[in-house]
Structure formats: structure tokens, C-alpha cells
Structure 1
Amino acid sequence: MLTVDYDRLGVGAGTKVIDVGCGAGRHTFEAYRRGADVVGFDQNVADLNDVDEILQAMKEKGEVPASAKAQVVKGDALELPYADGTFDCVIASEILEHVPEDDRAISELVRVLKPGGSLAITVPRWLPEKVCWILSDEYHANEGGHIRIYKADALRDKVLAHGLKLTDTHHAHALHAPYWWLKCAVGTEKSDHPAVTAYHKLLVWDMMSRPWLTRTAESVLNPLIGKSVAMYFEKPVVSVAVS
């Protein structure tokens, strides 16, 4: 289940991509599938090992172009181990809400992005997230949990302050918002609750079958209750005057 729309990023063969806070690797896999040279970057070794195993399996099964390259790297998003302007595309999906020093993390995302390159950032949307926080402390008050709720314009301005240009924005995963409200209402640890189980089956059916009914419902509901907001930025190319 992707939150970032790769068609808006123009990721393809030879594009250098870093997926910062890659987690289980969903955005790393898609970049690799499209032929990019991708780095799945995270601080969780167990997650990285799982991601690496799947990347190798994708290569062995011929699911990626022969020219594509992929690797996983352990590290801190506050100190990315790359030179300025290394990547054509930087992705940070659903990580900034976990990071205390988010301004510092944003600075690093911008720093390693090439001039002319694209930055994609997604975070939980304010309204659906606020409902979750109201319904349940368990949802966010845990180690590594969400420490803030972003308003989209505030996050946008944090990135624009680094000189980038906003190119696009959209909302995603409207059908997932009620699922999390339901979990928060009955208890986030009660995954076997009948209502939670039933809704989860609906989401799995939607992701696996992509039926017209749920796809249409989500597209209509995304502007209203989309669980995530995605923003896309471009780093300007600085012209050097020739004397």
C-alpha cells in the first residue's frame, strides 16, 4: 500500500532514490520495481534485514530491470551519511511525526537532494490523527510513537523555508481512517475484536482485489478523511553567472 504517488515523481531507470525511514520497505520496493538505484534507509536492523531479503528475491525472480540496484543502510535520519546533492529523489513517508528534531531531519532530507530533484513527504493528516488521539492514548503515547500532529500548511512552510518549491499535494487512504478510529475506540491492542477483524478483512480485500466500489469510495473520501497527506517539492537549480 503506497502513500507516495510515483507517477508524480518520475522515478524510473537510473533514478537515484533514498527512502528515509523505509520501515517494511513498501516504497523502496516500488522504486526498485521501476528500475531506480534505491537505498532503503532506517535505524531498525530487523526491518532492514527483512527488506534486504525481499529485494534479493525480487532480483532473483526477475521482477526488476537488470540495471536496477538496491541496498539497505542503517543510520540516523538526523545525520544522513551522504554528500550534498546525492539523490534525484528523496522519500520520507510517515516518519517525521516520530522525530523530535523534525526541523533537523528536514534539513538533512533537503541537503542530500540534488538541485532539480524531488522530495516527497507524507504524514498523518491533522483531522483523522486528532480523532485517534482523542479516542486513545495508547495510539500515540508509546515508545517510538507519534509525538505530534501536523497541520499540512505548517509542515509545508517548514520545507519551503529551505528554498524548495511545492509542486503537488494530495490525500490518501481514506478507508483506513475509520479502521484506526475503530481500533482506538475498542483498544489498539484488541486486534481480535469482531468489528476490527471485519473491517480489516475489508481493507485486505480492497488492497488485493482493488474493486471499483472501494476505489471509487476512497477517491471520493480522500479529500475529506484521507488518513495521510502527501506533499511533493522540487529543489531549484541555482544558476551560476558566467562573467
Structure 2
Amino acid sequence: MNLLSLYHNVDLENRKTVLDLIEVNERAKIMDLGCSDGEFALRIAQKAKTLNIFGVEFLKEAAQRARSRGIRVCQADLNEILPLAAESFDVVHANQVLEHLSETDRFIKEVHRILKPGGYAVISTPNLAGLHNILSLVFGKQPFTAHVSNEVIVGNSLDPKCGMLHASRGEVHLRIFTPESLRELFSYHGFDVEQLIGVGYYPFPGPLASVLSRLDRIHSVYLTMKVRKAAKMI
């Protein structure tokens, strides 16, 4: 199995992990930040058994495709204050978004602001401490998930994407997290961290990777976290 196939399989496993963290709530209002074409947002809504699905997407064409699927989408920059009412959503989802943002703190504050008290967010992002990144450093190569150019992917000849141009500035990784830094940053911004799960374990495939990531989440490929905003005191 080549690295691109491994990447695809880990991405599928990560999406399954996200869905496992979604609670069934027919009345839930769900916001997918960075919803792309809306395909996965609909799967999240189906898992929750709700029809109340919303999205924010920066790219105009992707936002239009999501709207064609029936998702209520606003086009906005996730680095900025969002044009969304405070305490208006029960669930916020952001998969492979956080690493692309320069205004990380503002984004997390906005997630907290738009969540209802007692609401939760599911966040997934690449793991800087992944075994594949550590081995890259041992051999003097750039970690897979840490980009050094806004134009081209360079620095790691083992990366199947090495030498490829970024399709857009939005694909560049700006902030990459370890498990400890991810947990501490969300805690700092007022969230209770309920679960932090490791997904995937390069270079190992399939079921073996699933076992290894459960035993050693610190060195997994992805970090998928469920955090909750405190309920209001009565």
C-alpha cells in the first residue's frame, strides 16, 4: 500500500471517529466550520438525526455546492469574527481546519461564543507528534504536516506530495499541534476536554494502525477531540 492510499484510509477512519462522537439529538442545530461541499456535514446531521445543519465556507464554489445539498451556508473567513449569533448552535464541527488558520485563538473564541451553554465541539487536526513526523526529523527531513512555503511542498522526499504546488493558500498548514498543546489551548479558552482520540498510525495500515493509535495516541496521525462549553449555573 502506498502513502497516498494510507492517507485516504486514515482520512476515512478519522471521519468515522468524528461521527462516533456525535450525539443523537433531533433538535440539535449543527454548525460545520469549513464545510467544503457539504457532503460530510450531511453525514454528521444524519448521525445526530437532525435536519438543522448549517455551514461556513470560505471558497465561493464550495459554498454553492453545499447550498445545493440543502445546507444553510454563509461564506466567511474563519480567521475573522463570524457573522453568527452567540449561543445559537448545539454542535460545532471543524475537521482539518484549525491547522490552516493564523488566528487560532480568535477561531476558538468564536467556537465558544456561538455554542449554546452545554453544547459541544468536535475538532480534528494533524498531530505534530505523529510517529511519521518524528522519524522525518530523525532523518533530517521536514515533518509531513509542517509546511514551509505558501507555494510548494518541499523538504521531505518521503512525502508523496513533495514538489507539488498548493492548490490555494488555504491548503497551507500554519499551526500544527501536539496532543498536549491542543488540549491546553482549548482549556485556556474555557472548554472542558471530554475526549482526545488518536487516529491512524503511519506507516502502518488498517487494523494494525487502529490498535496502535488506541495504545499510543500521542504518536498518531490525527488528533480528534470533543470539548464542551460549560452549562449555565441555575
TM-score normalised to structure 1 length: 0.69
Which aligned pairs between 1:30-45 and structure 2 lie closer than 5 A? 30-34=43-47, 35-36=49-50, 37-45=52-60
Q: Is the 8 A contact 1:3 1:93 kept in 2?
A: no
Residue number in structure 1 paired with 2:32: 19
Q: Is the 8 A contact 1:16 1:89 kept in 2?
A: yes
- Which of the pair has more CA radius of gyration? 1
Residue number in structure 2 paired with 1:203: none
Residue 221 of structure 2 corresponds to residue 220 of structure 1: no
Q: Is the 8 A contact 1:3 1:172 kept in 2?
A: no
- Tell me the alpha carbon deviations over residues 168-200 of structure 1, each in whole angstroms, 9 at most, x when there is no partner: 1112244xx449xxxxxxxxxxxxxxxxxxxxx
TM-score normalised to structure 2 length: 0.71
- Tell me the alpha carbon deviations over residues 43-97 of structure 1, each in whole angstroms, 9 at most, x when there is no partner: 11111222233x24xxxxxxxxxxxxx3222112222111211100111111111
| Count of matched residue positions in the alignment of Structure 1 and Structure 2 | 190
Q: Secondary structure at the match of 2:120?
A: strand
Q: Secondary structure at the match of 2:92?
A: strand
Q: Secondary structure at the match of 1:234?
A: strand
Pick the structure with more helix per residue. 1
List runs of 5+ in structure 1 lacking aligned partners: 57-69, 180-213
List runs of 5+ in structure 2 lacking aligned partners: 1-11, 134-142, 147-154
The residue type paired with residue 151 of structure 1 is: T
Residue number in structure 1 paired with 2:152: none
Distance 1:158 1:31 in 2: 25
Distance 1:75 1:4, change over 3 A: farther
Q: Is the 8 A contact 2:30 2:45 kept in 1?
A: no
Q: Is the 8 A contact 2:21 2:122 kept in 1?
A: no
Q: Is the 8 A contact 1:121 1:230 kept in 2?
A: yes
Runs of 4+ in 1 over 6 A off after TM superposition: 139-142
Q: CA RMSD in A?
A: 2.6
Q: Secondary structure at the match of 1:126?
A: coil
- Tell me the alpha carbon deviations over residues 14-71 of structure 1, each in whole angstroms, 9 at most, x when there is no partner: 2111010112434312123233211121111111222233x24xxxxxxxxxxxxx32
Distance 1:124 1:3, change over 3 A: farther
